[in-house]
Amino acid sequence: MSIGSISVLARLSGAHRSPPKRLYRDGWPGDLQRAGQLAFSATQWCLHRRAAMVLVGAGLPAAKGALRVSSKLGLRDWLSGAYVMSGAAPSRLVMHLGLDASPAPELYLADADVLVVLGCRQGLQVVVHVAEDAQRLDRYRQCADRARQQLASAALGHLVPAVVEQRAVLDLAILVQQRLVGRTVRPSGLSADELEQYVKAALQPVRALAVGSRAAGAGADDILLNHEMNWLEFDPQLGAAVRRPLAALRAWPGRRQHPAVLAHGDYWFSNLLFEPGSPQLSGLIDWERSRPDAVAGFDALHLVMFSFSAWRGTSPLQVLCMLWDDLCEPVLERLLAYAGQATDLSTEDLRHVALLIWLLHLSRHGLQVRDWTDARRRDWLEEPADSAQRWLARNG
pLDDT at position 5 is: 77
What is the arrangement of strands in the sheet containing 65-70, beginning at the earlier edge strand? 21-22, 83-86, 52-56, 65-70, 106-109, 114-121, 124-131, 172-178, 163-169
> With DSSP H G I counted as helix, E B as strand and the rest as coil, what are the percentages for the chain, rounded to 5?
50, 15, 35
Ranges of the chain whose pLDDT falls below 70: 1-4, 16-42, 44-51, 58-64, 73-75, 77-81, 110-112, 211-218
- Residues near 315 by beta carbon (within 8 Å), at least 6 away in sequence: 309, 379
pLDDT at position 26 is: 47
Strands (DSSP E) contained in 122-237 are 124-131, 163-169, 172-178
List, in sequence order, every residue forming a beta bridge with 294; answer none if it has no partner: 261
Classify 297 in phi/psi space as left (phi over 0), alpha (psi -120 to 50) or beta: left
pLDDT at position 1 is: 42
How far apart are the two ends of the chain, measured CA to CA in Å? 46
Give burial (CB, 10 Å; 0-12/13-18/19+) of 40.
middle
pLDDT at position 78 is: 64
Helix (H) / strand (E) containing 206: helix 204-210
pLDDT at position 239 is: 95
pTM: 0.86
CATH 3.40.190.10 fits 187-394, yes or no: no
CATH 3.90.1200.10 domain range(s) in the chain: 187-394
* C-alpha distance from residue 242 to each of 94, 278, 324, 358 (Å): 48, 41, 15, 10
* pLDDT tens figures, 275-324: 998 999 999 998 888 988 899 999 999 999 999 999 999 999 999 999 99
Residue at 171: amino acid letter: D
184 with 269: CB under 8 angstroms?
yes
Classify 221 in phi/psi space as left (phi over 0), alpha (psi -120 to 50) or beta: left
Q: Are strands 272-274 and 52-56 parallel, antiparallel or unpaired?
A: unpaired
pLDDT at position 29 is: 46
